[in-house]
Amino acid sequence: MRAEKSTFWHIGVIGGSGLAAGLALEDAQEIEVASPFGAPSGPVTTGRIGDVRLTFLARHGKGHAIPPSEVNYRANIDVLKRCGVTDVISLSAIGSLCEEMAPGHMVLVDQFIDRTTRRENSFFGAGLVAHVSLADPTCERLRAMLGEAASLAGGHVHGSGTYVCIEGPQFSTRAESWMYQGWGAQVIGMTAMPEARLAREAELPYAMLGMVTDYDCWREDEAGVEVSHVLKVMQRNADVARWSVRELARHLPARREPVPIDTALEHALMTAHEQRDTRRVRMLDAVACRLFGERD
């Protein structure tokens, strides 16, 4: 069995817990979806905007109860794949490491630096080894369409940016912030990794719309990041984020043409068939459904 990806769009949206209601999905349903990788952050909300199916998942759970390091990123991506999602967009608050990306702006992240250390970052492992390419970790087509949608929604949009993902839950020290600037990062956050890695392993094109809330702490004449300030800017950004999703759905081409990411696992598996861990193969019945048939 080698199921091919649908020619119809089904957009998975990962974002804040209050976003689903604001999307005003038609025929919306909240559904619990189980995963062999444990409990996801919560139920999904699935519905339509026009003819486009969307499935939303709150990254931090209802009421923002799950901290970044404890999000079950594997389960979240797995359940979106189980729902039939073809592409994933991430909506996330970020800090800025450069003057031009000001609070209130939107950034279409195209590169990541991963500084996390405590998170399960692959669906594969002992008994089933795979190596996917992550040179370009976001989908160029999806990123471009999301950028156009954000502009139509009234956002001040930057077309690219390198995101450094830290473990958290604390914000950076000034020394760390200066170091990340020296590395070439423009924005900073706590959630994009391993989310983007896992989306690639699941053959799901991924794009991130980062919403700048603050200047981190690299400005010596300013105080560090305060949650109260972050929340105020997030509230202003939320409407633009919602309308960006709606504009994206309205302007998608009628037919979804394939992209190379749809077959990211094609030559990634390294373990010989007879040496594969059958339990791990069964756990990948959604993530790698295109490759593994009944004989596996």
**Strand-pair category, 26-31 with 44-49:** antiparallel
d(CA 201, CA 194): 11
d(CA 19, CA 74): 21
Residues annotated as catalytic (active site), given as ranges: 214, 216
E strand or H helix at 59, and its extent? none
Quick one: which of 259, 265, 250 has its CA closest to 51?
250
User: Cα 145 to chain center, whole Å?
Assistant: 15
For 221, counting Cβ atoms within 10 Å of its Cβ (0-12 exposed, 13-18 middle, 19+ buried), the class is exposed
CA angle, 198 then 241 then 86, to 5°: 35
d(CA 46, CA 27): 8
Mind giving me the DSSP string for 196-209? HHHHHHTT--EEEE
- Alpha helix positions (H), the chain: 19-23, 73-82, 140-152, 174-182, 192-201, 227-251, 278-283
d(CA 7, CA 17): 29
